Amino acid sequence: MIVRTIAPEGMPRPTGEEGHILLNEVWGHFEAFRKWPTIDDIDRQLYKQGLDIDEVVQQLCPALLCGPSAFRGR
């Protein structure tokens, strides 16, 4: 499996360092378990680092928050 370390040009990026931490946790979980994490999985990991998911998620572009259901029927 190839994992990108740099997002392709034009891909939305977090606005702050905590947002990058959030994305790293999501991809780390996916790489380790071969499945997408739940919100609870990520919330626990961020909490261990002293971060609040409700605040951190504000650093993500809305395009990064769309789930697979947003693309069904296209």
What tens digit of pLDDT does each residue of 3-50 get? 445 566 777 788 899 999 998 999 899 999 999 899 999 999 999 999
Residue 33 lies in a domain: yes
Residue 44 lies in a domain: yes
Domain that holds residue 48: 17-61
- pTM of structure: 0.73
Residue 10 lies in a domain: no
Query: Six-digit token pair at 58?
Result: 């504000």
Cα 18 to Cα 67: distance, rounded to the nearest angstrom: 21
Cα 23 to Cα 37: distance, rounded to the nearest angstrom: 11
The count of domains in the chain is 1
Residue 9 lies in a domain: no
